[in-house]
């Protein structure tokens, strides 16, 4: 297949990636926007059913997603120099300036001068007894499935975990006709009150929180509550919860549990970019430790859609050579970073959450490695070598964050391919790296 060339490659078509693409192309530079999904919008603006399912090669058709703010879509539809590659994933990096991409039919190189990584975040999914039962999903995971068309009308659903995503997910589920029995937030009511109080500095977010709460009127939202176990034989039947001093059991059809978000940093790590506290380490203009690489949005720190839009714009401007315009946004970004800090502070995990797994609970779901099997090891590398933890299909994307949370092990030593891939795609790599020990 023939190689692709672009000035500025952007990985991820969520809010940060779209904002970056717009800034680049509105300043006369060419961009190539790559996304794993058939439609743009990322997770927060996940395309609903009305958006159509086919991966459109035509940019305007691809942009059709009512969840994306109309003004953004309209401006993106007008710009010149934007090429989109939907349903494509980055499987490897090659030297500086090249990515190996794979889609359903082919693998090919994309050569770039600058790269903006807007790879977003995934949910922090932590082990508890029964969490592998069918019917137990992430909290955002269940929301994503409903947006994909999962029918939950009349279904009894419990959401548990932590963070604003629980409320957003509950609102989607309720609008789809589900019966949301309970939202169990692990943060104490004192923490939640502190968070709401801090929102006075971000009036739009306060208004959004109020709208969500109104949409969820009548749904019990309990602070200081967490899941203890999912119960059932071949499928979820009920959930056991700790609510303050009480333990209760609720029969339900679905249980969505998520404890917050984890930045997707696999591509950044493959590029050799330094991380700090689990997210990309960036300077004031979003540049990573490697030259010509920028990280924006959740990839450089969990902070929500407004931060993502702003950072995407800043990096897009900087990459397009509009450095002064990018610098002018630094104070606005500082305001968003303060919100991110509030989020992390007020939804910090209760130590009890790290104690939910028992010895028999699986931590690595790909290789079926139990909590009891892992206690003997001191770090991620030892655990991988001895137990195969983190060596299955997800490549440690789920259990890596779980082990970091439960055992304090930083995830180290990630290797190509970045995604499970076809052998045929790997054969296109021009040189293979010598295996390190």
Partner 1 sequence: MLIRIELDGTVRQVPSGISLAAVLAGLPGRRSASGEPRAALCGMGVCFECRVTVDGQPHQRACQLPVREGMVVQRDV
Where on the chain is the footprint of partner 1 (CB under 8 A)? Answer: 36-38, 43, 49, 52-54, 122-123, 125, 132, 134-138, 140-145, 148-151, 234-236, 254, 264, 365-368, 392-394, 397-398, 420
Among 171, 179, 213, CA closest to 195? 213
CA 147 – CA 94 distance, rounded (Å): 35
Least distance (Å) between residue 144 CB and partner 1: 3
Q: Which is nearer to partner 1, 13 or 317 (CB)?
A: 13
Least distance (Å) between residue 181 CB and partner 1: 17
Q: Which is nearer to partner 1, 23 or 383 (CB)?
A: 383
Strand partners, 251: 238
Least distance (Å) between residue 240 CB and partner 1: 19
Strand partners, 84: 33
CA 281 – CA 117 distance, rounded (Å): 12
Task: Report the SS3 class of residue 150.
Answer: coil
Least distance (Å) between residue 180 CB and partner 1: 17
Least distance (Å) between residue 54 CB and partner 1: 7
Contact of 391 with 366, CB cutoff 8 Å: yes
Q: Which is nearer to partner 1, 140 or 301 (CB)?
A: 140
Q: Which is nearer to partner 1, 247 or 393 (CB)?
A: 393
Q: Which is nearer to partner 1, 26 or 123 (CB)?
A: 123
Residue 387: CB partners within 8 Å, gap ≥ 6? Answer: 364, 367, 369, 373, 374, 377
Least distance (Å) between residue 53 CB and partner 1: 3
Q: Which is nearer to partner 1, 22 or 262 (CB)?
A: 262
Least distance (Å) between residue 66 CB and partner 1: 13
Q: Which is nearer to partner 1, 337 or 394 (CB)?
A: 394
Q: What are the backbone angles phi and psi of residue 84, rounded to the nearest 5°? A: -115, 140
Neighbours of 320 (CB within 10 A): 23
Q: Which is nearer to partner 1, 145 or 223 (CB)?
A: 145
CA 114 – CA 116 distance, rounded (Å): 7
Residue 116: CB partners within 8 Å, gap ≥ 6? Answer: 8, 9, 10, 11, 17, 20, 24, 294, 295, 296, 312, 315, 316, 319
Q: Which is nearer to partner 1, 174 or 370 (CB)?
A: 370
Contact of 93 with 99, CB cutoff 8 Å: yes
- How many residues does the structure list for the chain? 437
Least distance (Å) between residue 122 CB and partner 1: 5
Least distance (Å) between residue 134 CB and partner 1: 4
Least distance (Å) between residue 201 CB and partner 1: 31
Task: Report the SS3 class of residue 159.
Answer: strand
Q: Which is nearer to partner 1, 149 or 220 (CB)?
A: 149
Q: Which is nearer to partner 1, 35 or 311 (CB)?
A: 35
CA 317 – CA 28 distance, rounded (Å): 11
Among 373, 319, 436, CA closest to 23? 319
Q: Which two structure tokens, joined as six digits, stand for 373?
A: 């099997």
Task: Report the SS3 class of residue 22.
Answer: helix
Residue 28, exposed/middle/buried by CB under 10 A (0-12, 13-18, 19+)? exposed
Least distance (Å) between residue 256 CB and partner 1: 9
Q: Which two structure tokens, joined as six digits, stand for 294?
A: 């920028």
């Amino acid at each position: 297949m023939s190689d692709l060339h672009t000035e500025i490659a952007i990985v991820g078509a969520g809010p940060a990636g779209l904002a970056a693409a717009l800034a680049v192309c509105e300043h006369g530079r060419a961009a190539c926007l790559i996304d794993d999904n058939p439609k743009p919008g990322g997770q927060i603006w996940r395309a609903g059913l009305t958006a159509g399912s086919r991966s459109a090669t035509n940019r305007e058709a691809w942009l059709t997603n009512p969840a994306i703010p109309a003004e953004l879509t309209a401006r993106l539809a007008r710009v010149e120099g934007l090429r989109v590659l939907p349903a494509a994933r980055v499987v490897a990096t090659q030297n500086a300036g090249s990515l190996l991409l794979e889609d359903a039919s082919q693998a090919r190189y994309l050569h770039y001068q600058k790269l903006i990584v807007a790879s977003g975040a995934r949910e922090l999914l932590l082990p508890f007894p029964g969490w592998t039962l069918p019917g137990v999903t992430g909290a955002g995971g269940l929301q994503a499935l409903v947006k994909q068309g999962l029918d939950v009308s009349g279904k009894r659903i419990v959401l548990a975990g932590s963070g604003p995503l629980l409320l957003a997910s509950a609102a989607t589920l309720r609008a789809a006709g589900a019966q949301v029995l309970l939202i169990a937030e692990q943060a104490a009511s004192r923490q939640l009150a502190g968070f709401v109080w801090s929102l006075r500095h971000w009036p739009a977010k306060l208004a959004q929180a109020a709208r969500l709460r109104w949409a969820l009127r009548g749904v019990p939202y309990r602070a200081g509550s967490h899941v203890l176990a999912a119960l059932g034989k071949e499928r979820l039947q009920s959930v056991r919860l700790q609510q303050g001093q009480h333990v209760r059991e609720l029969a339900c059809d679905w249980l969505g549990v998520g404890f917050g978000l984890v930045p997707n940093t696999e591509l950044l790590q493959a590029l050799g970019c330094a991380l700090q506290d689990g997210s990309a380490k960036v300077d004031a203009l979003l540049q990573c430790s490697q030259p010509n690489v920028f990280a924006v949005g959740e990839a450089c720190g969990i902070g929500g859609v407004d931060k993502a839009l702003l950072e995407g714009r800043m990096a897009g401007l900087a990459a397009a050579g509009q450095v002064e315009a990018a610098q002018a946004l630094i104070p606005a970004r500082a305001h968003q970073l303060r919100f991110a800090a509030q989020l992390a502070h007020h939804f910090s995990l209760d130590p009890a959450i790290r104690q939910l797994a028992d010895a028999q609970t699986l931590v690595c779901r790909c290789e079926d490695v139990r909590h009891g099997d892992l206690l003997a090891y001191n770090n991620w590398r030892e655990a991988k070598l001895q137990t195969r933890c983190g060596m299955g299909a997800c490549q440690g994307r789920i259990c890596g964050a779980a082990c970091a949370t439960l055992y304090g092990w930083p995830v180290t030593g990630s290797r190509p391919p970045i995604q499970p891939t076809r052998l045929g795609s790997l054969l296109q790599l021009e040189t293979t790296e010598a295996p390190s020990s």
